[in-house]
Amino acid sequence: MTAPVLQTAALAVGYGTTPVVSELSLSIAPGSLWSVLGPNGSGKSTLLRTVLGLLRPLSGEVNLFGTALGRWDRRALARRVAWVPQAFDGDAGFTGLELVLMGRAPHQGGWGLPGPKDLAVARAALAEVGVSHLAGRVVSRLSGGERRLLLVARALAQEPDLLLLDEPTAFLDLQHQAQVLDRVRSRVRNGLTAIAVLHDPNLAAAFTDSTLLLRDGRVLGQGPSAELLEAERLGRLYGLGLAEARTEAGHRLFAPRGTP
């Protein structure tokens, strides 16, 4: 059995002293695509930030690729783990290609001058996400969805072994939502491990292998998506009644049951 990419034991995460989620014990195997579901404020983004080392764990352990989080050198970690954040907060004066090239930073020297390989990887990442036409466009002129796609491309350009995505489908139209998750799953088939915070259980059901459910500061459930994602449990997760249906192709769908 191969070593887990991410392993936590009784992890508690949060800001300050109050944990948002506690008693998290995960074991994420390589080559798997996980989704994290839960109502707003359940700690999904906080979990990702803690795994990345941006937040200190309040208690418990985090191990990445077999090494404790605290022992990782930041640059070395950045070569293995990539993050697609929820919002683009930075200087919007950069072009798409410049932004994606920043993903190569962990592999580059002090000046960040891109070599041919860096350019190739960056352009490939842009193509993969379907935004090659944004290479020369300045970010400030782009829509929220286009920026998200650039962030995904940047993370892919990092050539990570573990990809953490925070609401990657926000602001995206249906086509791009499907495209992004499709690309991620394709990468996962080739060895990447990915954890995606999603707000839509339907996407989780369609694309992911395993799911983590968070609610009220606890884990409501974790395991294979096919088993975990069903109407009653999801209803408890989101606090409303859900109806389940199946498409002709056999995919499961969830929707709020009979709104007045």
Partner 1 sequence: MTSVAEPLGVEAGRVPGVRFTPMRAALVLGGLTLLVLVALGASVVLGEYPVDLLRALSDPASPDGRVLFGLRIPRAVLGALVGAGLAASGSALQALLRNPLADPFVLGVSGGAALGATVALAIGLLTFAGPPLFAFVGALAAMALVLGAGRASSPYAALLTGVVFNAFAAAIITCIKTLLTPDRLGEVLYWLAGSLGYEPTRTLLLGTAVQVLGLGVLWAESARLNLLSLGDEEAASLGVPVRRTRTLVLFAASLSVAGAVALAGLVGFVGLIVPHLLRLWLGPDQRLLVPASALGGAAFLVLADAATRMLFPVFHAEPPVGVVTAFVGGPLFVWLLNRREHPA
Interaction site with partner 1 (CB under 8 A): 49, 52-54, 74-79, 81-83, 85, 88-98, 101-103, 105-106, 110-114, 119, 133, 135-138, 140-141, 158
Please, what's the b/e burial string for 63-87 (b: 16 or more CB within 10 A of its CB; e: otherwise)?
Answer: bbbeeebeebeeeebbebbbbbbbe
CB closer to partner 1, 127 vs 226: 127
Q: Is 109 exposed, middle or buried (0-12, 13-18, 19+ CB in 10 A)?
A: exposed
Which DSSP string do the residues of 177-188 spell out, in sequence order? HHHHHHHHHHHH
CB closer to partner 1, 26 vs 131: 131
| 165: amino acid identity, one letter | L
CB closer to partner 1, 93 vs 250: 93
With a CB cutoff of 8 Å and minimum separation 6, the contacts of 89 are none
Q: Is 202 exposed, middle or buried (0-12, 13-18, 19+ CB in 10 A)?
A: middle
Q: How far apart, in whole angstroms, are the C-alpha atoms of residue 157 and residue 173?
A: 23
The DSSP symbol for 170 reads T
With a CB cutoff of 8 Å and minimum separation 6, the contacts of 252 are 202, 205, 229, 230, 244, 245, 246
Shortest Å distance, C-beta 238 to partner 1:
28
Shortest Å distance, C-beta 150 to partner 1:
12
Shortest Å distance, C-beta 213 to partner 1:
25
In the structure encoding, which two tokens stand for residue 207, read together? 């694309």
Residue 158, Cα to own-chain centre: how many angstroms? 14
CB closer to partner 1, 20 vs 77: 77
Shortest Å distance, C-beta 91 to partner 1:
4
Shortest Å distance, C-beta 243 to partner 1:
38
Going by C-alpha positions, the residue among 166, 174, 226, 160 that lies closest to residue 199 is: 166
CB closer to partner 1, 79 vs 185: 79
CB closer to partner 1, 93 vs 260: 93
Shortest Å distance, C-beta 137 to partner 1:
5
CB closer to partner 1, 67 vs 186: 67
Shortest Å distance, C-beta 49 to partner 1:
7
Q: Are 46 and 14 in contact (CB under 8 A)?
A: yes
